[in-house]
Structure 1
Amino acid sequence: MGTRGDEARATHSRRSVLAAAAGVVGLAGSASLLAGRDRIRVLAAGSLAAALEDRIGPAFEAATDVRVDGEYLGTNAILRLIERGDTLPDVVIGADVSLVRDRLVPEHARFDLEFATNEVGIAYDPETDVGSRLAADEPWHEVLAAADAGAIGISDPDQNPLGYRAVHLFELAEREHDRSGFRDVMLERSSVDGQEGQLLGGLEAGNRACAISYRNMAADRDLPFYALPTTYNFADPAFEDVYATASYTTADGQTVTGSLVSYTATVLDRATEPENGQRFVAFLGKQPSLLEGAGLEVPESLPRPSGDFPEVIQP
């Protein structure tokens, strides 16, 4: 398992103007950043860093005059910090609904709200041999099987869902394409990033050719994205039973099975700003166009509440 250093928070700086964010969603509100104004702490999956910093956080501030202080880690790392009592955010956003519910509800929170989905695919550098072959729409499993060691990036499967979904992806592809040993070979040859938010930095720096990524992460960095079949992109509810046939056991002994990529938010029972935290979760459930503009997907089935819901958050 990673050390406490591996779990160090990567706080991203705000990069958007609040007034512009207000225009995006058509909401009026003060964009002042006066000292002492209301604020909430949001600890969220690393794949949402750009979405929260550039769009969602500023829009919520513009609408409510409540500042969002975001910190970003892998969902597994977030949950471990909370379970150990090492951090006390107001709002927690995870990228695996089952994981959040199993470990936070009801011990640390009373409810959660699923509000957006995503899909797994391959972000790539088109200037590399691997990237040019993917751009030519060659079968991805053949391209990656021939890639040099270290040319493929994955997130740490012991720290976040994107990491273990890469493992699930390799396992499901091994079966579907009858490639014996494909899962293990891919894991041996992949380069592992401990911080989900840093995964695609290696492509931009020229250190690797491709990475197993969420679609919104590739869009955030204007990188080409190779879309995978629905049988193993973890985005189609019709294939939930298929996804669930893949599994991975983390270094601390927790076995996680394949599942839909779905983001869920909750307010901790010990939050210092529970009311503003609830307002933020409610905001997530009422801004589908804002979420979609950040590269996420909001199907008709969402938002979907679970647990003992405060009245303010009822969709």
Structure 2
Amino acid sequence: MKSDDGASGATPGLGPHSRGRRSFLAAAGSAVAGLVGVAGCLGSSDRVRVLAAGSLAVVLEEHVGPAFEAAQDVSYGGEYHGSNAVMRLLEEGTKHPDVVVSADAQLLRDRLYPQQADWDVTFAANEVGIAYAPETDLGARLDSDEPWYEAFADADAGDVAISDPDLDPLGYRAVHLFELVERAEGLEEFRDAMLERVALVPDEPQLLTGVESGTRACAVTYRNMALDHDLPFRSLPDAYNFANPEYASQYAEATYTTDEGRTIEGRPAVYNATVATDADAPEYGREFVSFLLERPALLEEHGLRVGGSLPRLHGAAPEAIEP
């Protein structure tokens, strides 16, 4: 895995896609339509309904969900959106899941406490970097030792994709990334220049579709998503990859204000989960969250970081939730 601090090279993907994975990713269209149809009819008492960050769509739908069903004899129903969109759906009363999973731990606390949640558990972390198509001109530059920001500075409009920062933490982390590297490398107006030329992808699970097909050069993404799509991944230094808690104060120097007027500071990319206070099946929700904590290998195998200070409880978690 390549790092601008001279660490290592690009991380290859996990090998050829399985037919199931290709079918799942292809079906993950607007609002992950193929999955919404399933989740929308989840009302039986032997099913847990999970509304989760889009960056976890593959690992939850193809790995954690089936493993949970096999272990607990409880059906799994998942629906996936950018975490900002997840919070809006809950605040508006559009969705009533049992379990909520966010790609930004503080976002869930700011938006759902105390009405819709009063505890959560952080269970995994991620790393922001760049997935790229090596056969493109820009991708070839990212595949070399050239600083990535120099390649980005020469990118044509639409060559670089980011998810929508008003809908998704990955999107505002891309904006934070541009701001942090502008300061670190003395790049005048790099953030604003990049925001004028990037392609905004509103549906997070679709972020890498163009890169995978070779019609787009690259995207700012999470490491696990690049692995899901078997794409090379350009790793970034800890100073702006949002993976190292020791850099939390530096991450916080970058900000983004959403279309709702919320100003969000940069912070480590940490996932958390809770059982909604109005869940229809809270017992199955607690079982699912406990299962997440008990199976860290399922997450680690698919590009997420576990261990260290994780998992960690916040608030008055029920006794059934034991990290």
TM-score (norm 2): 0.87
What is the Cα deviation at residue 8 of structure 1? Answer: 6.0
Q: What letter corresponds to residue 252 of structure 2 in structure 1? A: A
CA distance in 2: counterparts of 1:236 and 1:178, whole angstroms: 22
Write the mapping of 1:154-303 to structure 2, written as runs, cut at 5 A: 154-303=162-311
* Counterpart in the other structure of 2:81: 73
CA distance in 2: counterparts of 1:284 and 1:11, whole angstroms: 25
What is the Cα deviation at residue 252 of structure 1? Answer: 1.1
CA distance in 2: counterparts of 1:113 and 1:36, whole angstroms: 26
CA distance in 2: counterparts of 1:58 and 1:94, whole angstroms: 20
Q: What percentage of aligned pairs have identical amino acids?
A: 57
CA distance in 1: counterparts of 2:213 and 2:135, whole angstroms: 12
Tell me, yes or no, if the aligned pair for 1:12 and 1:53 is still in contact at 8 Å: no
Write the mapping of 1:44-193 to structure 2, written as runs, cut at 5 A: 44-193=52-201
What is the Cα deviation at residue 105 of structure 1? Answer: 1.7
* Counterpart in the other structure of 2:32: 10
After superposition, the C-alpha distances for 1:117-152 in whole angstroms (9 at most, x for unaligned) are 000000000000111111112100000111111100
Q: What letter corresponds to residue 55 of structure 1 in structure 2? A: H
Tell me, yes or no, if the aligned pair for 1:96 and 1:264 is still in contact at 8 Å: yes
What is the Cα deviation at residue 300 of structure 1? Answer: 1.7
Which blocks of at least 5 consecutive residues in structure 1 are unaligned?
A: 1-6, 14-34
Which blocks of at least 5 consecutive residues in structure 2 are unaligned?
A: 1-28, 36-42
- SS of the residue 1:144 aligns to: helix
CA distance in 1: counterparts of 2:125 and 2:33, whole angstroms: 23
After superposition, the C-alpha distances for 1:12-40 in whole angstroms (9 at most, x for unaligned) are 56xxxxxxxxxxxxxxxxxxxxx967111
After superposition, the C-alpha distances for 1:246-296 in whole angstroms (9 at most, x for unaligned) are 000001100000000000000101100100000101111111111101211
Q: What letter corresponds to residue 180 of structure 1 in structure 2? A: E
TM-score (norm 1): 0.89
Distance 1:283 1:238, change over 3 A: same
The higher relative CO (CA closer than 8 Å, separation ≥ 6) is in 2
Tell me, yes or no, if the aligned pair for 1:12 and 1:71 is still in contact at 8 Å: no
CA distance in 2: counterparts of 1:110 and 1:238, whole angstroms: 27
Instruction: Write out the 4+ residue segments of structure 1 that deviate beyond 2 Å after TM superposition.
Output: none
Distance 1:36 1:248, change over 3 A: closer
* Counterpart in the other structure of 2:23: none
CA distance in 1: counterparts of 2:284 and 2:197, whole angstroms: 45
What is the Cα deviation at residue 217 of structure 1? Answer: 0.1
Tell me, yes or no, if the aligned pair for 2:45 and 2:281 is still in contact at 8 Å: no
What is the Cα deviation at residue 206 of structure 1? Answer: 2.5
CA RMSD of aligned residues (A): 1.5
Q: What letter corresponds to residue 79 of structure 1 in structure 2? A: M
CA distance in 1: counterparts of 2:278 and 2:314, whole angstroms: 19
